[in-house]
Structure 1
Amino acid sequence: MSDSTPAPRLYAAREPIFPKRVSGKFRTLKWWIMLVTLGIYYLVPWIRWDRGEALPDQAVLLDLANRRFYFFWIEIWPHEFYFVAGLLIMAGLGLFLFTSALGRVWCGYACPQTVWTDLFIAVERWIEGDRNARLRLHRQKKWDFRKARLRVTKWTLWLLIGLATGGAWVFYFADAPTLARDLVTLNAHPVAYSTMAILTGTTFLFGGFAREQICNYACPWPRIQAAMMDEDTLTVGYRAWRGEPRKHRVPEGETQGDCIDCMACVNVCPAGIDIRDGQQLECITCALCIDACDDIMAKIGKPRGLIDYMALTDEEAERSGKAPKPIWSHVLRTRTVLYTVLWALVGFGLVFALFIRSDVELTVAPVRNPTFVTLSDGSVRNTYDVRLRNKTAEAQTMRLTVKGDSSIRLQLEGTAYQSIAVPADATFLQRVYLVAPSGAAPTERASTDVRIWVEALGGGDRAYRDTTFNGRNLQ
């Protein structure tokens, strides 16, 4: 290769994609999903929920300062993180289930990147016009007043959407009305401003400029989805046996397919691919190409469904002239049933654990230095740090007792009684002594199993923890 020969490029520059407006049942479904998901995201922090004077009145709140997660009537404590882990497992199984049955239906309809990109494209189309107008503006190299005005207007609205996105996110972590007032008056914590700035910037860049690049290069799911799909998975496909050969390529007098090569399916695709080339990593199965193609088929008097949701087994059947399988046979098969059963079992386990959990809990930590103390009267004393949890919205008086050996008595540090007041929705650390009367000489190897009980005198809830009493042979 001579010095004058340019070096080959290993990466092709991105060609901007300007999807054309399309109408149809799948586009309508995407609009409704966008409306519902964005409505939930932006409005949920403002829903109020009365939990009493001592607790926050925000329906959904991730209270990191006090280490609580509130979801309407449910309150998750730090030691109950298994509930969050269970929800994440359910989300993963749900993603596997939908992908196995319907391909990348999550990516095409409900993924945040898809939802916000759709919103940004809608704003772009509203300001700059449909596909051809946007293409002309993009290809216009010289900046004039009109191009600057359109671009600045579009970018301003994108930034406002990004700001609303970042603002809604921080409202999940603090009382929304209070935080909103602090943000406006510049009294909020710097973490709130920095979080909003990061989310505003990423939303602006990902939804406005990166778009399908995030799905193609940053998201791992396109690579993983192949393991979730099989020949019975319903996904968007092109009926080549019906559409080929395309009309403009066929010499006169030869057989012609239904596809007129109008490029409508390509022009509406947010990933910029041609579904007629077969399944591709970039396809998010948003089905907008189905709407576009059905519209063209209706105009030229051909049957709809040239591009449709279908499975590989349908292709084999239709090519041989047989009727495809019914939809339910694609959805209800061994893999999807297994995912559904696993998903339901995890959900049932979480609901069961939620309903059987007690409002009163305790943990017992023996003080090991020293393991035991021999008092002046010959009795042996063990020390324990007992952490009491009151999960109710009212203060509770809790009584502690010990079971295991009738000679061992329980004492609370700082009080002559065996009961203690624990504030509402709080933990209380109490030092507890177990004392055994004088008897056999203490030995470090001798120990007795005991059980410490706690009972809420107001509500009647009880809980216990097993531990050991060291330093005296009680046989």
Structure 2
Amino acid sequence: MNKTVLPSELEVVPEDGPLYAARKKVYPQKVSGTFRRIKWALMGVCLGIYYFLPFVRWNRGLGAPAQAVLIDFPNHRFYFFFIEIWPQEVYYFTGLLIAAALVLFLLNSIGGRIWCGYLCPQTVWTDLFYAVERLIEGDRRERMKKDTAGWTPRRVGEAALKHWLWLMIAWWTGGAWVLYFADAPTLVMNLLTFQAPAIAYIWIAILTATTYVLAGFMREQVCVYMCPWPRIQAALTDEWALNVTYRYDRGEQRTSVKKAKELRARGEAVGDCVDCYQCVAVCPTGIDIRNGPQLDCIQCGLCIDACDTVMGKIGRPKRLIGYDNDINIKRRMEGKPEIYRLVRPRTVIYCGMIAAVGAIMLYALLTRSLLDVNVLHDRNPIAVKLSDGSIRNAYTMRLLNKRGFDRVIAIDVDGPVNASMHVVGVDSVTQDRPMIVLGRDATTELRVLVTAPAEQNTAKSVPVRFRITDIGLGETAVATDNFVTPQ
């Protein structure tokens, strides 16, 4: 009986040669199956959202942008359907980035590089470019043959058509990105009539070039050499994470289909792997999954589809390659049942952290005030003593109205006893209570003077509290500072 050789037991013989081998062009073969269909579906969803989301409309009222998702740099706003984020609320983006990182960690703990194989933009656009290439130049063998043959008029025409379609896809990718920063229909018309800002054309050119180069030429090199995630992922994974795995306990020893039949007829043990190399032919990074875990593997599952097709043709059970872990391989070799632990402390902790971050962000969003005030104390001079002995402190007050209509705002101050307040340039409607009209979706900066009588100047510093009130809605906002007495 032949002994099963594990990938970890294979002897690596060093060879003389350059430290870095020249890149070999990868020609992935077309494949069909469960994971290929999943990838097509996710590609359609991702590209559909990216390309068409800027054209989705959302009614926010008169004078407000009608684009559902908009990054409005001139007015310092971010709109996402019914949510409006101001620059002062950048912590929402921080929370979103933290949640995204935790989701990535959770996916890694469940299924390895699921993000890389199915959702990464580099994977999605590279798949799209490969589809165009196959449509024009044919499948793996035809492309390999054409690349080694000379240039003919037909070959030149195919190459020109392929690169033109690649450039159109890359151009629309760059164009779609800038549509998130201005009203999409208007910007499209301005781009077509050459009336758009120069910065729009510059960014479209940059993104067109990067998409064309990364998805059309660099492809798997981006995943292997440029992306840091494979290195990080390797440190975050554990023995229970499901990765695309060659089940060598079932596949070894490898032999041809004919030889395998002869050995089985004689009652000898033989593996299911027939060395057809279909798993290598369909791999977008050109690796052999049978060599064990590798940095280059993006866990896309296409080798599973290819192997299942071969197993079905030769009458052997499917999933010789599948999502599995080394623990189950060793258990099967020992005659023990398989164990899968998707729910374990690591995944529970990640889910809990994601839920906590999401709950905090949701609470902050639902309870946030649409009226805000910030106060900054003058530093030079910090306080002024007037001729009658009274003390005056000056403040810069910034009011924010996040609603889509004007408000009438009353300003009050609580601090030193018998202190008076004066807002420069604003006449008080009633004594000691100035009122202003705060414009819709706007900020206003005011100069505020607080004066305390001489007989109250005993403490070096007294807390002072500024309160603004929406006369119509009753909403309030408060800011605190200190009233300082000079020594």
Same fold, TM-score > 0.5, yes or no: yes
Q: Which residue does 1:4 correspond to in 2?
A: none
- Give 2:13's aligned residue: none
CA 1:205/1:77 → structure 2, altered by over 3 Å: closer, same or farther?
Answer: same
Residues 299-324 of structure 1: CA distance to partner in whole angstroms, max 9, x if unpaired? 11111111111011111111112220
Aligned to 2:485: 471
Alignment partners' CA distance in 1, 2:217 and 2:224: 14
Amino acid in the other structure paired with 2:470: A
313, 326, 330: which is aligned to 1:312?
326
Which residue, 376, 380, 383 being the options, matches 1:365? 376
> Structure 2: where are the runs of 5+ without partners?
1-15, 429-433
Q: Tell me what 2:235 maps to.
A: 227
Measure, in 2, the Cα distance between the counterparts of 1:184 and 1:356. Answer: 43
- Tell me the CA shift for residue 433 of structure 1: 1.4
Alignment partner of 1:276 is 2:287: no
1:428 counterpart residue number: 444
Shift of 1:55: 2.1
The equivalent position to 1:169 in structure 2, one of 174, 177, 185, is 177
Q: What 5-or-longer segments of structure 1 have no aligned partner?
A: 1-6
Match of 1:120 in 2: 129
Tell me which amino acid in the other structure corresponds to 1:439.
E
Residue 11 of structure 2 corresponds to which residue in structure 1? none
One-letter amino acid matched to 1:323? P
Aligned length: 461
Q: Kindly indicate whether the alpha-carbon contact (under 8 Å) linking 2:467 and 2:478 is maintained by their aligned counterparts in 1.
A: yes
Please give the alpha-carbon distance, in whole angstroms, between the structure 2 residues aligned to 1:318 and 1:200: 50
Q: 2:166 aligns with which of 158, 183, 203?
A: 158
Residue 458 of structure 1: CA displacement?
A: 2.2
Is 1:410 matched up with 2:421?
Answer: yes
1:59-458 paired onto structure 2 within 5 Å:
59-140=68-149, 142-248=150-256, 253=263, 254-326=268-340, 329=341, 331-417=342-428, 418-439=434-455, 446-458=460-472
Moved >4 Å (runs of 4+): 249-254
Alpha-carbon distance in structure 1 between the residues aligned to 2:253 and 2:167: 46
Question: Which residue is equivalent to 2:66?
Answer: 57
CA-to-partner distance for each residue in 1:231-257, whole Å, 9 max, x for gaps? 111011011121111123969645321
Counterpart-to-counterpart distance in 2, 1:265 and 1:175: 46
Deviation at 1:19, TM superposition (A): 1.0
Q: CA–CA distance in 1 between the matches of 2:304 and 2:392?
A: 78
Read off the aligned partner of 1:262 and give its amino acid letter.
C
Amino acid across the alignment from 2:121: P
Question: Which of 25, 30, 36 pairs up with 1:21?
Answer: 30
Query: How far apart are 1:406 and its partner, in Å?
Result: 4.1
Query: What is the identity, as a one-letter code, of the residue corresponding to 2:128?
Result: L
Question: Are 1:55 and 1:425, in contact at CA under 8 Å, matched by a contact in 2?
Answer: no
Task: Give 3-state SS (helix, strand or coil) of 2:454's partner.
Answer: coil
| 8 Å Cα contact 2:417/2:452 also seen in 1 | no
Q: Is the 8 A contact 1:54 1:424 kept in 2?
A: no
Per-residue CA shift, 1:74-100, capped at 9, x if unaligned?
Answer: 111112111101100111111011001
Letter in 2 for 1:190: A
Judge conservation of contact 1:412–1:433 (CA < 8 Å) in 2: yes
SS at match of 1:439: helix
| Cα offset, 1:371, TM superposition | 2.1
Q: CA RMSD in A?
A: 1.7
Deviation at 1:472, TM superposition (A): 7.4
Contact 1:365/1:386 (8 A) holds in 2? yes
Amino acid in the other structure paired with 1:219? C
Contact 1:393 1:424 in 2 (8 A): yes
1:269–1:289 CA contact under 8 A, matched in 2: yes
CA deviations on 1:358-390 (whole Å, 9 max, x unpaired) are 011011011122222333444322211100000
The offset of 1:343, in angstroms, is: 1.1
Q: In structure 2, what is the Cα distance between the partners aligned to 1:312 and 1:455? A: 64
Cα displacement string for residues 315-368 of structure 1 (whole angstroms, at most 9, x for unaligned residues): 111111222014xx2x11111111111111111111111111101101101112
Q: CA separation in 1, counterparts of 2:141 and 2:239?
A: 38
Native 8 Å contact 1:68 1:78 kept in 2: yes
Range moving further from structure 2, 10-19 or 360-369: 10-19
Q: Distance in 2 between matches of 1:185 and 1:323?
A: 67
Match 1:11 to one of 20, 23, 33: 20
Using the TM superposition, give the Cα deviation of residue 35 of structure 1 relative to its aligned residue in structure 2, in angstroms: 0.4
- SS of the residue 1:12 aligns to: coil
Q: Distance in 2 between matches of 1:369 and 1:276?
A: 73
TM-score with structure 2 setting the length: 0.91
**Cα distance in 2 between the residues matched to 1:9 and 1:281:** 20
Residue pair 1:45, 1:60 contacting (<8 A) in 2 also:
yes
Q: Which amino acid aligns with 1:191?
A: I
Distance 2:253 2:330 in 1: 18
Secondary structure class of the residue paired with 2:455? coil
Q: Secondary structure at the match of 1:382?
A: strand
Q: Which residue of 1 aligns with 2:5?
A: none
1:3 equivalent in structure 2 = none
Equivalent position amino acid for 1:125 in 2: R
